[in-house]
Structure 1
Amino acid sequence: MTLRYPLAPTQMGNHLAMTDLSGELVFRRGKEVGKAVYQNRPLSKAGVSERLFALLFSGLVYPQIWEDPDVDMEAMQLGQGHRIVTIASGGCNILAYLTRSPERIDAVDLNAAHIALNRMKLEAVRHLPSQGDLFRFFGAADTSHNSEAYDRFIAPRLDPVSRHYWERRNWRGRRRIAVFDRNFYQTGLLGLFIAMGHRVGKFFGVDPAGIMKAKTIADQRRFFNEELAPVFEKPLLKWATSRKASLFGLGIPPAQYDSLITSGDGTMASVLKARLEKLACDFPLKTNYFAWQAFARRYPNPGEAALPAYLEKRNYKTIRDNVDRVAIHHANLIEFLAAKDAGSVDRFVLLDAQDWMTDDQLNALWAEITRTASAGARVIFRTAAEPSLLPGRVSNSLLDQWNYQDEASREFSARDRSAIYGGFHLYVRRAA
């Protein structure tokens, strides 16, 4: 699901760190993620929890992004000429934004696994022979020749570090890229968490995939009320989800767990039940590919239901024509913005990164956002809890330069098909 990340990078927290050393990029697992997560002493209970999370978060976490790019684009009023800085995450958002032909997209992340995924996606768009090949690679399950397509069309154009990541072998001797021969979306920390959710459901006698037989929203709600909702009343599940480590698979660090639990009745089971209810009941299955991933463990076939924008055939030419407008940066978001010129960014996409941040980090981030924002710039982000976390934490001298779009934020939050966040938030730069 999608509550996640840390500091500059929600997705900042999402990538295996890579750094330049003697002209070579090398992996440094976990170190940069730790900088974003650690807030307590190493041997304290909270400190141990943070360090376990950082270790788990150093690898591939999000096979796909769990924020709704359609909502993003509407909230940003995204169009031609716009310069975007976004956290990269799984990269579905970046490619979706290209359908609006912005001038430039700078995608930033600290997780090297996600950096490798984003860079491979760009080369796949550029060099796979057709839209059908792109869909088979990123949209279809059990396509046994995808790794061969990688070797022939993508690998020769991929940067050495990303290529090393995808071609590294596991203890069974299989290359990482081989996951695309099976079902890529059942891998990564999130994929494993969803698989565990299905196992838990079956342990209690419920197959979550059964909701895919629903023909109407009424059918979906009936399945949720009769099959899924009772699972969250089980004492064992309540006990398990009361442990912060239980949600690490969602990319939720300890600090964000504390924020998330405030939006329910004091138990995490009630929060998760409410978020799953929205995913299961508020949108027709035919329009919600997030529900397909959660319940069917795959994307729909073309024509079966809606797909991510970058996999829709109608968007292929536009995305391919615009793909060179994207730059992927393995960097801290605050430091990245500090190097940009004043007034040089029109749109900022923070995902849920700020849920990970201390007050000092929030103020440093918004100081750079405010400095680099153009006239009328827009900032969007999500939070685990419903309210915006900025008031009372970011200085008034910074926030006074922005207008919070309260009503629009609530509307966009309700329409976010991923359904796992408490709040969607939109800020617009005030006129000087």
Structure 2
Amino acid sequence: MKAPRNRAVRSAVHRHDHLSKQGLLERAFTFAFRGLVYAQIWEDPAVDLEALAVTPDCHIVQIASGGCNVLSYLTANPRAITAVDLNTAHIALNKLKLIAARELPDYAAFHRFFARANSKDNIAAYKRYVRPHLDEPTRRYWEGRDMIGRPRIGGFAKGVYKRGLLGNFIGAAHFIAKLNGVDPKVMLAANSMQEQREIFDREIAPVFDKGFIKWLTDQPASLFGLGIPPSQYEALAGDNKMAVVLRERLEKLACDFDLKDNYFAMQAFGRGYGDSPSASLPPYLQEANYADIVARVDRVEVRHANFVEYLREMPDASLDRYVLLDAQDWMTDEILTNLWAEITRTAKPDARVLFRTAGVETILPGRVPEAILARWTYRAEDSLDYTKRDRSSIYGGVHLYVLGDAA
């Protein structure tokens, strides 16, 4: 990322003197966050689509992240999607997915590229079908090398979901679990939700009682691989030890949903999507949605931009849906206020804002001025339901605000 956009990231994450312990942690996080973080986004699109209630006239503005939900939202037939991100790797991944959807010859090739993501045939398909249609910065990114010298596009021949900050974090978690005598893949042997519970209680839960795990997870830097900056670490932990919080979140992932229907759990415990023809997949990778994705892919615009900067370019009352992921957890009160002032100015009647938080509660009251927040209705009961049903299970809260809605 280049200035001035890089300053936007720093201003959100850097809150302490650069030589203080917290300041050093914040700068270490910024360094770690420069490359690919999420090869797969960790917000459940099934919950999102229900909460957003997308209609054919909707213009959605969202943080791009790994692009899974950008394409998955196309299944709801919106008029337009603008995906913004400050991470150049995420911009390149989104553009790769969009061009691949449009140019690969059939569903089998698209599925192999992004659902399997571990075949040399993907490299040949990239060179023949995708590469000629990429813009120069995107092509340069994918044909460049990562921090340890591997060709980035080569990830699609060797398991791209094992790469990136999150993929490396999951790999490290598997390694540490094995050192403690547990292979997380044991969860995949479950044939029922009852067996999921039994395996989790017997094999996985005791790992969080280990002294080393308690010490390790007490270090904020240990969760950088989840894309969690120091400020969000504090919100996630709350009054509890981090090992307790992580065990609870992993328990929900492992036990509250049938593994056959939860591709997030497959990624966490198996480091990829399932092999069977009926394996759970994000909506954009499901064969039933393929034709719609291809037909609508040109409705997506991907921009290397700050969310607020983009909104400032837009006219009053011009946008319908806003998806902020968990980015607000990083923000100061001043940044939050600027963001919500622009959301409110650009929002059409009945516009919806969806976001997630590391902690349980919505973070807006007391931080965004009441004159702005009073124009929105917080759907508290619905938000609790969405949180309960979010299969990714890593967030404390999923929150929906509706402009001028008293329902």
| TM bracket, shorter-chain basis | over 0.9
Q: Quick one: distance in 2 between partners of 1:377 and 1:332?
A: 20
Q: C-alpha deviations, 1:100-127, integer Å up to 9, x for none?
A: 1100000010000000000111000010
Contact 1:379 1:427 in 2 (8 A): yes
CA offset digits 1:327-346 (Å, max 9, x no partner): 00101111110110111111
Normalised by the length of structure 1, the TM-score is 0.92
How far did 1:34 drift?
A: 2.3
Give the CA deviation at 1:81: 1.2
Counterpart pick for 2:95 among 119, 122, 138: 119
**Matching residue's letter, 1:411:** D
Among 140, 146, 159, the alignment partner of 1:183 is 159
Partner residue, 2:31? 55
Q: 2:405 & 2:184 partners in 1: Cα distance?
A: 49
CA contact (8 A) 1:36 1:357 kept: yes
Residue type matched to 2:80 in 1? R
Residue 82 of structure 2: SS of its match in structure 1?
A: strand
Match of 2:215 in 1: 239
**Of residues 228, 250, 273 in structure 2, which corresponds to 1:299?**
273
On the 8 A contact 1:33/1:111 being kept in 2, the answer is no
- Residue identity matched to 2:188: M
2:351 aligns with 377
1:254 and 2:230 are equivalent in the alignment:
yes
Tell whether 2:339 aligns with 1:365. yes
Q: Answer yes or no: is 1:90 the counterpart of 2:66.
A: yes
Contact kept, 8 Å, 1:383 with 1:422, in 2: the verdict is: yes
- Measured after TM superposition, the shift of residue 48 of structure 1 is 0.6
Find the partner of 1:405 among 372, 375, 379: 379
Q: Is the 8 Å Cα contact of residues 33 and 57 (structure 1) preserved in structure 2?
A: no
Aligned length: 406
CA distance in 1, matches of 2:279, 2:191: 12
**What SS does the aligned partner of 2:120 have?**
coil
Give how far 1:320 is off: 0.6
Whole-Å separation in 1 of the counterparts to 2:184 and 2:167: 15
In structure 1, the gaps of 5 or more residues are 1-16, 21-27
1:228 paired residue number: 204
User: Does the alignment pair 1:277 with 2:246?
Assistant: no
Q: Is the 8 A contact 2:261 2:280 kept in 1?
A: yes
Note if contact 1:334-1:365 (Cα within 8 Å) is conserved in structure 2.
yes
Matched residues in 1 for 2:157 and 2:298: separation?
A: 27
Q: Are 1:416 and 2:386 matched, yes or no?
A: no
2:291 corresponds to 1:329: no
Mapped contact 1:86–1:350 kept (Cα < 8 A) = yes
Aligned to 1:145, what secondary structure does the other structure show? helix
Map of 1:8 onto structure 2: none
Q: Matched residues in 2 for 1:66 and 1:169: separation?
A: 25
Does 2:361 match 1:387? yes
Q: How does 1:26-175 map to 2 (within 5 A)?
A: 32-169=8-145, 174-175=150-151
Give distance in 1, aligned partners of 2:311 and 2:376: 18
Q: How far is the alpha carbon of 1:84 from its aligned partner?
A: 0.4
Contact 2:252 2:393 in 1 (8 A): yes
- Summarize deviations over 1:65-113 as a string: whole Å, max 9, x none: 0000110000011121111000000000010000011000000100000
Kindly state the Cα deviation for residue 31 of structure 1 after the two structures are TM-superposed: 5.3
The 2-side partners of 1:399 and 1:32 are apart by 23
Is the 2:377–2:405 Cα contact (8 Å) retained in structure 1? no
CA distance in 2 between counterparts of 1:293 and 1:219 reads: 19
Question: Cα offset for 1:40?
Answer: 1.2
CA RMSD for the aligned pairs? 1.6
**Per-residue deviation, residues 362-405 of structure 1 (Å, max 9, x unmatched):** 10000000000100001000000000000111110011000000
Q: Provide closer, same or farther for how the CA distance between residues 310 and 171 of structure 1 changes in structure 2, counting only shifts above 3 A.
A: closer
**One-letter amino acid of the structure 2 residue matched with residue 386 of structure 1:** V
Distance change >3 Å, CA 306–CA 114, structure 1 → 2: same
Give the distance between the partners of 1:172 and 1:54, measured in 2 at CA.
18
How far 1:142 sits from its partner (Å)?
A: 2.8
Corresponding residue for residue 5 of structure 1: none
Q: Which amino acid aligns with 2:22?
A: A
1:24 maps to which residue? none
Q: Which residue of 2 aligns with 1:6?
A: none
Task: Supply the AA of the counterpart residue of 1:102.
Answer: P
1:342-369 CA-partner distances (Å, limit 9, x unpaired): 1111100000000000000110000000
Range with greater deviation from structure 2 (180-189 or 144-153): 144-153
Higher normalized contact order (CA 8 Å, seq sep 6+, divided by chain length)? 1
1:260–1:271 Cα contact (<8 Å) kept: yes
**C-alpha deviation, 1:300, in angstroms:** 1.5
> 1:424 is paired with a residue of what secondary structure?
strand
Q: Hey, what's the Cα distance between the residues in 1 that align with 2:374 and 2:206?
A: 46
Deviations 1:311-332 (A, max 9, x none): 1000000011000100001011
Choose the corresponding residue for 1:219, options 195, 213, 234.
195
Indicate if the aligned counterparts of 1:255 and 1:356 stay in contact, CA closer than 8 A.
Answer: yes
Q: Label 1:157 to 1:390 Cα distance change in 2 as closer, same or farther (>3 A).
A: same
Kindly indicate whether residue 178 of structure 2 is the aligned counterpart of residue 202 of structure 1.
yes
